[in-house]
Amino acid sequence: MNLETMTLFSPQLAARFDALVLKYPVKRSALIPMLLYAQDEIGYLSDAVIAEVAERIGITELEVRNVATYYSMLRFKPAGKYNVQVCTNISCMLRGAYDIYEKFQEELGIEHKGVTADGVFSLEEVECIGACCWAPAIQVNYEFHDELTPEQVAGIVAGYRGKAEGKAANA
């Protein structure tokens, strides 16, 4: 593949990756950030994404997969546009995280790692997200929502649904 003419990524991201590989003492240090940023744009690590990342770093696709499968934020199937990640680890659990998680399951009609039919939401039960003192907490993509009650769940879902529809209308 000629990376100068053919890339899966937006011109901005491609430019960012061009700089990223030059940033470290060793090129391969760019691998994990590159995978995560690629996933942010494309939605998941498709075969094509893995091939391009391997090419950019100068390692084999197998080596990329070997690393990518280790990290729990990296995925190989599409998630929803808004990936709801509910922490149920100890500090959150003690303050009702499982009630929050059940409420999201009800509201979205999906289970752990499920994706809604319209592709707008996916749901995950996740490990500690570093918001223990503001529990129970969730992340929707990278956005934190702290000190939640089950009553707030419907509103959070409606908020993101509105965003998704707003964007669709603009498109």
Partner 1 sequence: MPRLVSHPDEVKVVSKRFGLGAAQIERYVELGGYESVKMCLEKGPDWIVEEMKASGLRGRGGAGFPTGMKWSFVPKQSAKPKYVLVNGDESEPGTCKDHLIFLHDPHAVIEGTIIAGLAIGAKLGFIYLRGEYRYLLQIMEKAVADAYAKGYLGKNIFGTESEFNIITQTGAGAYEVGEESALMESLEGKRGVPRIKPPFPAVVGLYGGPTVINNAETIATVPHIFEMGAAAFAAVGSARNGGTRLFGLSGHVERPGVYELPMGYNLKKMIYEVGGGVRGGRGLKAVVPGGSSTPCLLPDEIDIGMDFDHVGKAGSMLGSGGVVVIDDTTCIVEFALRTISFYQHESCGWCIPCREGTDWLKKSLTRFHAGFGEAKDIDNIQYLAENMMGRTFCPLGDAAAMPTLGFVKKFRKEFEDHLNGKPCAFAKHVDLAVV
Residues near partner 1, by CB under 8 A: 23-26, 28-33, 35-36, 57, 66-67, 70-74, 88-91, 93-95, 98, 127-135, 139, 142-144, 146-147
Q: Which among 149, 76, 157 has a CA at the least distance from the CA of 109?
A: 157
Cα(first)–Cα(last) distance of the chain, in Å?
A: 31
Count, in order, helices (H) and strands (E) of the chain. 7, 4
Closer by beta carbon to partner 1, 72 or else 170: 72
Q: Would you say 142 or 169 has its CB closer to partner 1?
A: 142
Distance CA 29, CA 7 (A): 21
User: What is the nearest approach in angstroms of partner 1 to the Cβ of residue 164?
Assistant: 20
Minimum Å gap between C-beta 72 and partner 1 is 4
To partner 1, the closest distance from the beta carbon of 93 in angstroms equals 6
Closer Cβ to partner 1, 41 or 165, answer by number: 41
Give the number of C-alpha atoms closer than 13 A to the C-alpha of residue 53, restricted to the C-beta side: 28
Shortest distance in whole angstroms from residue 76 CB to partner 1: 13
DSSP secondary structure letters along 12-28: HHHHHHHHHHHHSSSGG
Between residues 73 and 168, which has the closer beta carbon with respect to partner 1?
Answer: 73
Rounded to the nearest whole angstrom, what is the least distance from the CB of residue 121 to partner 1 in the complex? 18
Burial profile 69-97: b = 16 or more Cβ within 10 angstroms, e = fewer: eeeeebbeeebbbbbbbbbbbebbeebbb
Nearer to partner 1 (CB atom), residue 45 or residue 157: 45
